[in-house]
């Protein structure tokens, strides 16, 4: 077994999530038992102590830092952070900023985690907002869709940065040495699409990425492209549409099969299909990474339980070991475009 000379330190927001603090702390204990990672729980002292008392943690690399406040789902992220400087997510990201933690994991409100990460840790040059990648797994295991998150109103430079992030994802996490990049649009010809895709095409084409042109919706799952670039609203809609197809597919199949008795293996496969959402989520856990933040920050669904928390901690550890942040930083600095200026310079001059 590979033994790291120095344990990777992960700050876990103990108070964020529907099942916090119980499931978060149970997951952290699970991850700590697996070894090779040191965990700092961040949360209300009395509550964290009470939960930890349920386990034998005396020999585990597990400690905690006190944070009295919590940000709720219905609060405005930036405002809440201003009014609650001692919120668990703020304290957790501060640990990363100060080098006390190598990574942060939170199942709290994603907006608050993003805002806290940006305000406290900051962004890599060339990035304006954290970017979320969605590996499509399931039907398209060699393809990642970027952005599926917060970047809803984009300019061409955003899309170029998404392409760089997507390539970093494909190289480091999907083991694709030479990822092919495509731009999602309504037709394959350069002139097809919105003002955004029309303006982004030449920027991608003249870059040093392997840009194969526009791709239509029907080819998303074809594997023709390893990285599919789009604004966050299209990406988010496509991802959620895809993740949630399972039950509709199975209902349609069962309606047509009528009363036909199904063999066990077929039933099993159909049950697997119904839980397609969960499968996509489980397999695409690295999709929870906030790309572009200057440290590893892994977000989790609010409804995550101990198993998911433990996995997220392992993934955060893997992201640190893989040096994803410094890799992306250097990839962003290297990207060229037809204006022959750096992404960071050009990004301040939106084209549309």
Q: Of 121 and 154, which has the nearer Cβ to a copy of itself?
A: 154
Nearer CB in complex with a copy of itself: 43/77 = 77
CA 185, 186, 189, 192 torsion: positive or negative?
Answer: negative
- Residue carrying the six token digits 């199949």: 253
**What's the closest the beta carbon of residue 158 comes to a copy of itself, in angstroms?**
13
340: exposed, middle or buried (Cβ count in 10 Å: 0-12, 13-18, 19+): exposed
Residue 12 has phi, psi (to 5 degrees) of -110, 125
Least gap, CB of 75 to a copy of itself (angstroms): 13
Locus of tokens 């406290």: 120
Complex with a copy of itself: residue 257 or 341, whichever CB lies closer: 257
Compare residues 82 and 251 and give the one whose CB is closer to a copy of itself: 251
Residue 144: CB minimum distance to a copy of itself, A? 16
The smaller minimum CB distance to a copy of itself, of residues 185 and 298, is found at: 185
Q: Which is nearer to a copy of itself, 43 or 288 (CB)?
A: 288
Burial class of residue 27, CB neighbours in 10 A (0-12, 13-18, 19+)? buried
What 3-state DSSP class applies to 47? helix
**Shortest Cβ 234–a copy of itself spacing (Å):** 5
Shortest CB 339 distance to a copy of itself, Å: 23
The least CB distance from residue 6 to a copy of itself, in Å, is: 40
On the CB side of 325, how many CA atoms lie within 13 Å of its CA?
A: 24
User: Residue 253 or residue 341: which is nearer to a copy of itself going by CB?
Assistant: 253
Question: Residue-wise over 134-166: b if at least 16 C-beta within 10 A, else e?
Answer: bbbbbebebbbbbbbbbbeebbbbbbbbbbbbb
Bridge partners (DSSP) of residue 227 are: 144, 181
CB of 43 or CB of 138, closer to a copy of itself: 138
Strand 227-229 relative to strand 180-184, pairing: parallel
Place of tokens 């640990």: 95
CA-wise closest residue to 225 among 204, 243, 203:
204
Residues that bind a copy of itself (CB under 8 A): 138-140, 152-153, 184-186, 193-195, 197, 216-221, 230-234, 236-245, 248-249, 251-253, 256-258, 260, 263, 265-266, 269, 272-273
Among 139, 135, 138, 83, smallest CA distance to 112 is for: 83
Q: Is 216 exposed, middle or buried (0-12, 13-18, 19+ CB in 10 A)?
A: middle
Least Å distance, CB 306 to a copy of itself, is 25
H or E element, residue 98: none
Residue 282 backbone phi and psi in degrees, to 5? -65, -45
Cβ closest to a copy of itself, residue 138 vs residue 166: 138
* Cα(129)–Cα(310) distance, integer angstroms: 27
Q: How far apart are CB 73 and a copy of itself at their closest, in Å? A: 11
Residues 6+ away with beta carbon under 8 Å from 261: none
Distance in Å, CB of 141 to a copy of itself, minimum:
10
């Amino acid at each position: 077994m590979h033994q790291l000379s120095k344990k990777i330190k992960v700050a876990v927001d103990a108070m964020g999530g529907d099942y916090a603090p119980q499931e978060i702390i149970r997951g952290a204990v699970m991850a700590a038992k697996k070894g090779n990672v040191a965990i700092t729980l961040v949360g209300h002292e009395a509550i964290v102590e009470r939960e930890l008392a349920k386990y034998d943690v005396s020999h585990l690399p597990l400690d905690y830092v006190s944070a009295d406040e919590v940000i709720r789902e219905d609060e405005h992220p930036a405002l809440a952070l201003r009014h609650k400087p001692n919120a668990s997510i703020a304290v957790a990201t501060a640990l990363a900023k100060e080098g006390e933690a190598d990574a942060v994991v939170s199942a709290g409100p994603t907006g608050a985690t993003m805002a806290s990460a940006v305000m406290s840790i900051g962004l890599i040059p060339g990035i304006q907002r954290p970017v979320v990648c969605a590996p499509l797994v399931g039907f398209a295991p060699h393809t990642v869709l970027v952005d599926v998150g917060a970047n809803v109103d984009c300019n061409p430079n955003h899309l170029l940065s998404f392409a760089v992030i997507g390539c970093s994802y494909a190289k480091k996490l999907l083991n694709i040495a030479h990822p092919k990049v495509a731009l999602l649009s309504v037709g394959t010809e350069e002139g097809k699409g919105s003002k955004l895709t029309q303006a982004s095409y030449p920027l991608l084409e003249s870059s040093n990425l392997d840009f194969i042109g526009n791709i239509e919706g029907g080819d998303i799952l074809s594997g023709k492209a390893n990285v599919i670039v789009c604004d966050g609203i299209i990406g988010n809609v496509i991802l959620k549409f895809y993740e949630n197809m399972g039950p509709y597919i199975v209902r349609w199949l069962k309606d047509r099969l009528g009363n036909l008795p199904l063999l066990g293996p077929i039933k099993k496969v159909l049950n697997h299909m119904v839980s397609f959402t969960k499968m996509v989520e489980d397999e695409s856990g690295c999709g929870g990474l906030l790309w572009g933040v200057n440290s590893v920050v892994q977000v989790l669904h609010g409804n995550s339980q101990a198993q998911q928390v433990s996995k997220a901690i392992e993934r955060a550890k893997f992201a640190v070991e893989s040096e994803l942040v410094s890799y992306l930083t250097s990839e962003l600095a290297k990207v060229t475009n037809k204006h022959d200026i750096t992404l960071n310079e050009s990004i301040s001059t939106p084209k549309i």
